[in-house]
Amino acid sequence: MKISFLTMLTVTAVMGALSLVLGNGYMETQKEIERLEVAKAEERPEIDPYVLELDEHIDKLPDGYIVSGNVNFQEAKVLADALYEESDGNFKYDWGLLLSLEAQKRDIDPHVVYELLRVETGDTFDPSLVGPETRYGHAYGMAQFMKNTGPWVAEMAELPYKHEYLFDPHYAIQLSVTYLEYLYGEYGDWDHALTAYHRGMGGLNQYIRENGHARSWYAEEIQEKAEALVTFVDDQN
């Protein structure tokens, strides 16, 4: 079959026009896709950098640790940095973070807790420390709990207990804050609470009978150092 030149010209013109229409349609479709993608990206909420940082720090805490909703995480970070600096790196950043979070949760002065741990370990913050033998046995770990005290304090803290846990710095910090919360709640002041931590509740009563007050050298030193630490932390900011 012969096709006239005019017919071929007409077909060519139609195909060209159709290609132009399809081409324009493709371009319009691509532009619409791009517009939708931009709009979707604008609608997508940005991840708060604070949330990302929070998640990073939580990974350094004990497995399964739940951060209380009423804590100031920024305050915990600032204190953790300051304690690491003040201890020349001996008190690890994650220890300070946990200490601050626990102290906030239980409404206990974190500076007192830190200075107690310092005194208990002779300025070393050594988690593996075993205290000298006494008639009641040895004290263990950074918080220097004895075998007759650790289990019931762990129960108050709602933590499981094994003797070897006392050498875990995170565990020791949680127990020390819990015990101080209990003692402060019992006596209402740091002289009594700290002397009871050091000597036991029975030993506190004996100390008061012998001295007429509860302000032992232990309680005095910790409180004085805690006051100085507040100034140090403030100066770091």
Report the percentage of the chain scoring pLDDT > 90: 66
Question: What band does 46 get if pLDDT is binned at 50, 70 and 90?
Answer: low
Cβ neighbors of 68 (< 8 A, separation 6 or more) are 101, 104, 105
Q: Return the domain boundaries, the chain.
A: 1-44, 49-236
- Confidence (pTM): 0.78
Look up residue 231 and give its amino acid: T
Q: Is 147 exposed, middle or buried (0-12, 13-18, 19+ CB in 10 A)?
A: middle
Helix axes 217-236, 190-211, angle to 10 degrees: 160
pLDDT, tens only, 162-186:
999 999 999 999 999 999 999 999 9
Question: What band does 53 get if pLDDT is binned at 50, 70 and 90?
Answer: low
Please tell me the predicted confidence (pLDDT) of residue 18: 39
Helix axes 110-120, 190-211, angle to 10 degrees: 50
Cβ neighbors of 102 (< 8 A, separation 6 or more) are 108, 173, 174, 177, 178
Look up residue 38 and give its amino acid: V
Question: What band does 50 get if pLDDT is binned at 50, 70 and 90?
Answer: low
pLDDT, tens only, 188-220:
999 999 999 999 999 999 999 999 999 999 999
In CATH, 49-236 is 3.30.70.2860 = no
Please tell me the predicted confidence (pLDDT) of residue 37: 62
